[in-house]
Amino acid sequence: MTQPHDDPCAHCEEMMQPYLDHILTEAERVEAEHHLDECDWCRRRYRFEESLRVYVHQVVTEPMSAALRQKLSALRIPLN
């Protein structure tokens, strides 16, 4: 059975959210950043997760216009 530390990408995946939340220890942060510097796949994954967080934050904090709210309501399909 492979342990997360045996696969650096699996370990990076495991550390991704804590890294984005800035809750890793200094040693864990350095380890994660070293892997992100070396691994194109994980670096792309990190950029995606970071962008997703920014997008979600914007959606949650930006007020929705009445016109947009009305258009979205018109798209609802009744659940009968």
Successive 10-residue mean pLDDT values, the chain, 80 residues: 68 91 94 94 94 85 82 76
The number of distinct structural domains making up the chain is 1
| In-domain check, residue 79 | no
Domain encompassing residue 11: 4-74
| In-domain check, residue 80 | no
pLDDT value of residue 5? 58
| In-domain check, residue 50 | yes
Rounded CA separation 5/12 (Å): 9
| 41 contacts: CB under 8 Å, gap ≥ 6 | 9
| In-domain check, residue 31 | yes
